[in-house]
Amino acid sequence: MVDQTVAQVDRTIAQVDQRVEQVDQRVEQVNWRVEQVDQRVDQVDQRVEWVNQRVEQVNQRVAQVNQRVAQVDQRVERVNQRVEHVDQRVEQRVEQVDQRVEHMNQRVAQVDQRVEQVNRRVAQAD
């Protein structure tokens, strides 16, 4: 009976040893997989860092472009103001010239009337 118990204990120990070996193998597999995942996480972290740097560069470039656009907008505004001022001056000058032309036309009409009067007097005198 003791021999049977010893044999049973030996079989149980063998089963336990076999199970421990399986668990050890599984632990090795899991550890290997964890190492792969860690490496992949490191790669992703590096890629994220690169992307973040690139985004920062793009943001800086956008800021530069926006600043340049603001400068151009200011220049356009100044030019528009100048054009508006010149338009006003041209409009005033055209109005002055129109008034002078009107005045000259009135004087020409007066001269024409005087010439007609003189011509009538000359005709009467003849």
pLDDT of residue 3: 84
Domain positions in the chain: 1-89
Q: In the chain, which ranges are continuous DSSP H helix?
A: 2-125
| Rounded Cα distance, 91 and 87, in Å | 6
CA dist 46 and 125 (Å) reads: 116
- Name the pTM for this structure: 0.55
Q: How far apart are CA 114 and CA 122, in angstroms?
A: 12
Q: Which of the residues in the chain have pLDDT under 50?
A: none
Q: What is the mean pLDDT of the chain?
A: 96
Work out the number of other CB atoms within 10 angstroms of the CB of residue 66.
Answer: 10
Q: Give the per-residue pLDDT at 82.
A: 98
How open is the CA angle 21-26-30, to the nearest 5 degrees?
A: 150
Residue 96: φ, ψ to 5°: -60, -45
